[in-house]
Amino acid sequence: MPIKTTKKVTNKKVVKEETKPAVEAKKEEVKTAEVKKATKPAVEIKKEEVKPAETKKAPAKKATTKKAAKPAVEAKKEEVKPAEVKKAPAKKATTKKAAKPAVEAKKEEVKPAEKKKATAKKTTKKATTKTTTTKKVTTKKMTKEEQYAKLSLDTCLDLAKAMSMNVTRDSIIQQLILNPDVKSVSKDLVNKYQLTGKFNFEEDGYDEGLVEVLVSKVYETADIKPQKAEDLQADVDHALNYKFTDVVADGEEYKAQFDTMRKVLMIAQHKDIHDSKNLDEEIGIDVEKFVEEFMDLAYSVLKTWKYEDVDYYEHFIYAVLSQLEDLHDTYRNRIMMDVADLYILHGDYGLGDADYGYILRENQIKDYIYYRYASIYEGVDKDKAKQIANQALQFVDDRFTYYPNIIAVLEG
């Protein structure tokens, strides 16, 4: 068979070069070329090859000077390994050091074998590393949602700015206080900044889907959970007993009451309470009285605060009144006039006039509304104040309670 022929040739080469006794090796030192051609009887080769399986398993025995034939067998054992066949040919080692005893020849062959093993280990490690790197490249192909989920809150805010959104963590928290629904707030922001279809994720690295991710992360990190009812009672009692003093003190009190009202609203939202009387029982305070006190303070303080504060107050107080439906019916006209007055005082006449126009159309009894509308313009534009008062006379006469007040504005 072809396999047996290959083994014979291999063993012949090994025996030819290494099976001579140590004594004969010295005699043949001068004739190195002849050593290469020397042949041994085929009988000896067959003796070594009868049991190839045993040759592989048998542990290597120490070579002695008496039995020089054994080292040749051990050299064969070392050479049948694939790692040695590839790199370290036995011919070169034998040719250069043919004069040395067979024992030394074995030592020279063992060292390359050890080096080959180390090289094989390194190669294996390198191959493993390459495989791992290939896997990492594959896992980088994440979906848009997975990539968004890995973004930090700060990164989301930076990307929001890149999308021309004028938002901060605090501004989003304020919106969540008014409306604790993440999807609803996200939709409002997308509509406000007209983001639908404006950006492409593949090209820009973000799109309108980032907005909900941002709002979700703010919601998860913000302290907007409802407070315990008993913790609010002392704050509400303080608010109901507060007396207006000066601009600075009133401003600080407004901030405190705003925070307390926010907590009251959140309890109502989380417990799905829509009636102020039911909320009274839940937290043990007079909710309606507190709402009225809060609106009085806000109307006084926000006259001197910024326009943005008025805008936020409007959204917040409407959130409170929308949650507590019975209070909405009672105070909706009042709060609309309060907000309209504040807008006019801050120079937004268009919005203020529009609010008053809506209230006048929706109410049959108009004397008080006209009086409020005309009087707020007295400190801003007296001519317009008189014009409004004159319009009121079409609907108001001396039978109405506020007729004298309207005449006073007209004659003022």
**Closest residue by Cα to residue 303 from 272, 364, 347:** 347
pLDDT tier, 228 (very low <50, low <70, confident <90, very high otherwise):
low
275, HSE (Cβ side, Cα atoms, 13 Å): 3
* Domain-embedded: residue 394: no
pLDDT digits (tens, 9 = 90+) for 43-83: 343 444 434 444 344 444 443 334 434 443 343 444 434 44
In a domain, 141, yes or no: no
Measure the CA–CA gap between 308 and 304, rounded to whole angstroms.
12
**pLDDT for 344:** 97
Together in a domain, 129 and 166: no
Q: HSE on the CB side for 317, CA within 13 Å?
A: 27
Q: What are phi and psi of 362, to 5 degrees?
A: -90, -5
Structure tokens at 127: 């191959």
Q: Are residues 131 and 63 in the same domain?
A: yes
CATH number at residue 244: 1.25.40
How many structural domains compose the chain?
A: 3
Contact 351, 307 (CB under 8 A): no
Q: Distance between CA 349 and CA 357 in Å, rounded?
A: 12
Residues 130 and 151 occupy one common structural domain: no
Alpha-carbon distances, residue 86 vs 55, 89, 107, 113, 277 (angstroms): 20, 8, 19, 11, 92
Between CA 343 and CA 392 the distance in angstroms is: 21
Judgement on whether residues 51 and 119 belong to the same structural domain of the protein: yes
pTM, entire model: 0.54
194: left (phi over 0), alpha (psi -120 to 50) or beta: left
Residue 306 lies in a domain: yes
Last residue of a domain, one of 114, 136, 158: 136
* Residue 402, domain member (yes or no): no
- Least confident among 86-100, 160-174, 244-258, 340-354: 86-100
Residue 282: phi and psi, rounded to 5, are -70, -45
Nearest-CA neighbor of 319 among 230, 188, 211, 212? 188
E-assigned strand segments in 10-79: none
Asked, for residue 375, whether it belongs to a domain, the answer is no
Widest pairwise Cα distance in the chain: 148
The residue count for the chain: 412
At residue 229 the predicted structure's pLDDT band, cuts being 50, 70 and 90, is: low
Question: Any idea what the Cα angle at residue 60 is, between residues 57 and 66, rounded to 5°?
Answer: 135
Last residue of a domain, one of 363, 381, 402: 363
Q: Which residue range(s) make up the domain with 38?
A: 2-136
pLDDT tier for residue 227 given thresholds of 50, 70 and 90: low
- The string of pLDDT tens digits covering residues 236-266 is 999 999 999 899 999 999 999 998 998 899 8
CA 81 to chain centre: 54
- Give the distance, in angstroms, between the CA of residue 100 and the centroid of all CA atoms in the same chain: 71
Residue 231 corresponds to which amino acid?
Answer: D
